[in-house]
Amino acid sequence: MKSRVVDFVVGIFIIAALLALLFLAFRVSNLTNFGNGKYYKITAEFDNIGGLKIRAPVSVSGVKIGEVATISLDSNNYRALVSMRINARYNNLPIDTSANIFTQGILGSNYISLSPGFDEANLKAGSRIETTHSALVLENLIGQLIYSLKSDNDGSQKKKNEKGEGS
């Protein structure tokens, strides 16, 4: 009889530990939000979103206030249309707020940073952020650097050849 009680208590402990691990896995992976669930959606258009993904953080001054809900392509102007879910506690963002896509660290994931403006009117559900700044793609920056270095080398080589120093 005593061994059954011990087995039952051990079984309950193992089930509780597995549930705690499952809860922790969902929280760390950000697959679910166990917050109050009250959000409003706003949208913004970007020329280039880089590696921005759904559920990427949306922050103001480094404080997470929401997440990216959907990403689609506007078929009229071929720009990326990003829909963001903003926590209802932050319903006082001015209408002239701007959105930037930044990278966490050098090779980290992308996120959206909102910079509030100074207008008296606030963003509401369904509002669109008009001022956006696209992601800086590391590959493009490296390509531009290599091109400018190559152009500088070609220009200095031509000057040497014109002066007769290159031969």
Taking only the tens place, the pLDDT of each residue in 102-123 is 988 877 889 999 999 999 999 9
Taking only the tens place, the pLDDT of each residue in 125-149 is 999 999 999 988 777 888 888 988 9
- Rounded CA-CA distance 136/42 in Å is 22
- Quote the pTM value: 0.70
Rg (CA), the chain: 26
Strand, coil or helix: what is 114? strand
Looking at residues 149-159, what average pLDDT do you find? 71
SS3 content of the chain, % helix, strand, coil (to 5): 35, 30, 35
With bands split at pLDDT 50, 70 and 90, how would you rate the model's confidence at 35? low
pLDDT of 42 over the 70 cut: yes
**Any idea which residue has 């929280």 for tokens?**
27
- Rounded CA-CA distance 56/11 in Å is 38
Taking only the tens place, the pLDDT of each residue in 65-80 is 999 999 999 999 999 9
Cβ proximity of 109 and 58 under 8 Å: no
Using alpha carbons, list the distances in angstroms from residue 99 to 14, 37, 77, 160, 162. 46, 23, 19, 47, 49
